[in-house]
């Protein structure tokens, strides 16, 4: 992270705010624009097809796709075509194209990471990356793969058990994950937590996988890209004095302070949305709800949020009061209910791009022998469709 961060003012009547870091002769801003568009397309695919809650970290997704394009070239031809690569070009031409793409991506992501770390204060945005190998199936990597791991800041590690893995996550993300299944590495995480729940008594969780299938999975490394965001919202934005309830559910109520009028039901889109400011004016939290399946194009979304974002000052002396519980009146003229499912985005309002994108459904994810589509299945299924 650089000692000083330059914050870039967006150009008037322009959404092209990627090219501040680049030499236009070698690092075109279209590279970063393409990464953002691809990330949003994957989010749209998951939004339409997933009935469970999920979140995507845009920086981590771009890093993972860039890494896979480097080490799995034969499996990522669709991604290459997205960046204008011609299949029958010479090997040298492909090498030059990949070198330029990697440099463009790394340069932008390094700068953006520093900006977001600064903008998240007094909260934090953290990330961790690891290539995890099972002890009995550790493999030798090609030199180019080792270089790709180093370039993308990925730690290569022999798996030492679920406890060590969660301790590493807690340290890297500066959070507490001692009793959380973040990455269920070869089912070890779930088994370990079951042992903890049963006070050390050995238990075997139910699984649809046979012994041979589980052993076969241990032959492949697990790539872990994990992100964590904690941003501060000023206390006057939430009604901190009252906890509301309606139809058996508790609600937090978002208030409209005199110093800031955030827009509700913006524009002419087929869905409704609310923009909430954070402690730093660079970051917004965007709620989108009452959508059917998909939203809109990426450029339309950027334009939509840019037009409606506000920059009014806050009264930072406001302090939260005591919490009470009262009945919420959904028929009140000043009440806007956000129903399930809804989208949540952490939005960079200077570059006009999402840092996180997620869907909240209110449904609990299946566990045990029920099948839930994994992130790898989503990712590689989407890459095949390119």
Q: Which CATH number does the domain 242-360 belong to among 1.10.3470, 2.50.20, 2.30.39, 3.30.450?
A: 2.30.39
- Render pLDDT for 9-27 as a digit per residue (tens, 0 to 9): 334 434 455 554 443 334 4
Domain boundaries, the chain: 124-230, 242-360
Task: Choose the weakest-confidence range: 19-33, 112-126, 172-186.
Answer: 19-33
Q: What is the pTM of this model?
A: 0.80
Radius of gyration of the chain (CA): 23
d(CA 312, CA 281): 9
Greatest pairwise CA separation for the chain in angstroms: 69
User: In the chain, which ranges are continuous DSSP H helix?
Assistant: 30-49, 58-71, 77-82, 91-119, 143-151, 162-173, 188-197, 211-217, 298-308, 375-385
Q: Strands 155-158 and 124-133: what pairing?
A: parallel
Contact assessment for residue 206 and residue 253, using Cβ atoms and an 8 Å cutoff:
no
pLDDT at residue number 140: 81
How far lies 196's CA from each of 160, 192, 201, in Å? 17, 6, 8
Contact assessment for residue 77 and residue 385, using Cβ atoms and an 8 Å cutoff:
no
d(CA 157, CA 221): 10
Q: Residue 123 — very low, low, confident or very high, per pLDDT cuts 50/70/90? A: very high
Mean pLDDT calculated for residue range 22-46: 79
Mean pLDDT calculated for residue range 121-132: 93
Q: Strands 272-277 and 155-158: what pairing?
A: unpaired
Mean pLDDT calculated for residue range 130-146: 88
Contact assessment for residue 229 and residue 355, using Cβ atoms and an 8 Å cutoff:
yes
Would you call 311 exposed, middle or buried from its count of C-beta atoms within 10 A (0-12, 13-18, 19+)? exposed
- Render pLDDT for 50-99 as a digit per residue (tens, 0 to 9): 888 999 999 999 999 999 999 988 889 889 888 888 777 788 888 888 88
């Amino acid at each position: 992270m650089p000692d000083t961060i330059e914050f870039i003012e967006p150009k008037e009547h322009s959404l092209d705010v990627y090219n501040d870091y680049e030499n236009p002769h070698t690092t075109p801003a279209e590279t970063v624009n393409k990464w953002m568009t691809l990330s949003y397309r994957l989010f749209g695919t998951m939004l339409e097809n997933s009935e469970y809650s999920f979140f995507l970290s845009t920086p981590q997704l771009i890093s993972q796709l860039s890494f896979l394009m480097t080490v799995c070239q034969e499996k990522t031809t669709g991604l290459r075509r997205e960046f204008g690569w011609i299949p029958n070009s010479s090997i040298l031409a492909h090498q030059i194209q990949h070198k330029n793409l990697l440099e463009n991506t790394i340069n932008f992501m390094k700068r953006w990471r520093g900006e977001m770390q600064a903008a998240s204060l007094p909260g934090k945005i953290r990330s961790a990356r690891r290539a995890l190998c099972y002890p009995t199936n550790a493999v030798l990597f090609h030199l180019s793969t080792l270089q790709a791991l180093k370039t993308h800041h990925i730690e290569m590690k022999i798996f030492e058990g679920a406890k060590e893995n969660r301790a590493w996550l807690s340290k890297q993300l500066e959070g507490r994950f001692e009793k959380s299944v973040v990455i269920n590495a070869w089912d070890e995480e779930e088994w370990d937590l079951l042992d903890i729940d049963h006070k050390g008594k050995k238990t075997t969780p139910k699984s649809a996988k046979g012994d041979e299938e589980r052993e076969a999975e241990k032959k492949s490394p697990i790539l872990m890209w994990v992100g964590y965001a904690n941003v501060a919202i000023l206390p006057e934005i939430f009604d901190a004095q009252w906890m509301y309830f309606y139809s058996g559910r508790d609600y937090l109520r978002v208030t409209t302070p005199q110093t800031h009028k955030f827009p509700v039901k913006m524009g002419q889109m087929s869905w409704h949305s609310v923009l909430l400011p954070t402690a730093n004016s660079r970051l917004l939290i965007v709620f989108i709800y009452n959508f059917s399946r998909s939203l809109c194009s990426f450029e339309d979304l950027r334009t939509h949020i840019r037009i409606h974002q506000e920059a009014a000052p806050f009264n930072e002396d406001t302090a939260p009061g005591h919490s009470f519980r009262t009945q919420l009146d959904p028929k009140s003229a000043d009440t806007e209910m956000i129903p399930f499912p809804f989208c949540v985005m952490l939005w960079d309002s200077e570059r006009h791009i999402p840092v996180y994108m997620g869907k909240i459904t209110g449904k609990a994810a299946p566990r045990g022998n029920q099948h839930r589509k994994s992130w790898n299945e989503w990712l590689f299924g989407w890459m095949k469709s390119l």
